[in-house]
């Protein structure tokens, strides 16, 4: 009888200990996820999202993917800022809507400016491509490339959706942005 009580007590301790560990791991995992997916630049992102009609979770997903929220990030190819602009894209955007602005490329280190231009670009691409996945390919791989891919039956059946993305970097990029967007949606916007 004494052995049965001792065994029952040990089992209870193990059982409740496992519940405590599981709860603790869930709590740690929950905190870790939020810290990996912060809501930095919330004011700037909210303003640009409203101004250009772009989903905030998408903006966060792109910034997470492009620069991990480092406003001074510079890619190996020379892209700059939170949303990683190439000089030619930045110059094109300045003339697209804003003929009077005289920003220089280094000004993209300013989070508010970079986010505004980045979200403006997303809005333009969204109007051009309709399909978010295709738009993400254009953001990363360039409009000219995506336009050619959409015309090619090897890559697109309907001229809107890409069934194959021939640039591995762009293919991985669109998947990572979609994943990051989904995580932001689950954590903050659902």
Name the residue with tokens 């905190």. 31
Continuous segment of H or E residues that includes residue 184: helix 168-184
Distance from C-alpha of 117 to C-alpha of 83, rounded to nearest angstrom: 9
- The DSSP code sequence of 41-103 is THHHHHHHHHHHT--HHHHHHHHHHHTTT-TT-B-TT--BTTTTB-HHHHHHHHHHT-TT---
DSSP 8-state secondary structure symbol assigned to residue 142: -
Query: Beta partners for 80?
Result: 74, 85
Query: Beta partners for 138?
Result: none
Catalytic residue among 66, 130, 148, 169: 66
Residue 66 known to be catalytic: yes
Distance from C-alpha of 120 to C-alpha of 103, rounded to nearest angstrom: 15
Helix, strand, coil percent values for the chain (each to nearest 5)? 70, 0, 30
Enzyme catalytic residues: 66
């Amino acid at each position: 009888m004494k052995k049965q009580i001792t065994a029952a007590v040990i089992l209870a301790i193990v059982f409740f200990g496992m519940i405590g560990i599981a709860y603790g791991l869930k709590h740690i995992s929950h905190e870790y996820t939020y810290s990996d997916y912060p809501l930095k630049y919330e004011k700037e992102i909210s303003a640009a999202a409203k101004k250009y009609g772009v989903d905030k979770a998408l903006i966060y997903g792109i910034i997470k993917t492009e620069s991990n929220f480092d406003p001074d990030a510079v890619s190996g190819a020379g892209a700059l800022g939170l949303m990683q602009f190439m000089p030619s894209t930045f110059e094109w955007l300045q003339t697209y809507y804003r003929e009077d602005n005289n920003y220089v490329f280094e000004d993209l280190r300013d989070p508010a400016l970079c986010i505004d231009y980045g979200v403006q670009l997303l809005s333009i691409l969204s109007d051009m491509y309709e399909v978010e996945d295709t738009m993400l390919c254009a953001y990363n791989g360039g409009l000219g490339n995506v336009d050619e891919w959409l015309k090619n039956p090897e890559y697109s059946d309907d001229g809107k959706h890409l069934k194959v993305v021939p640039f591995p970097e762009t293919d991985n990029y669109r998947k990572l942005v979609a994943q990051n967007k989904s995580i932001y949606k689950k954590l903050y916007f659902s």
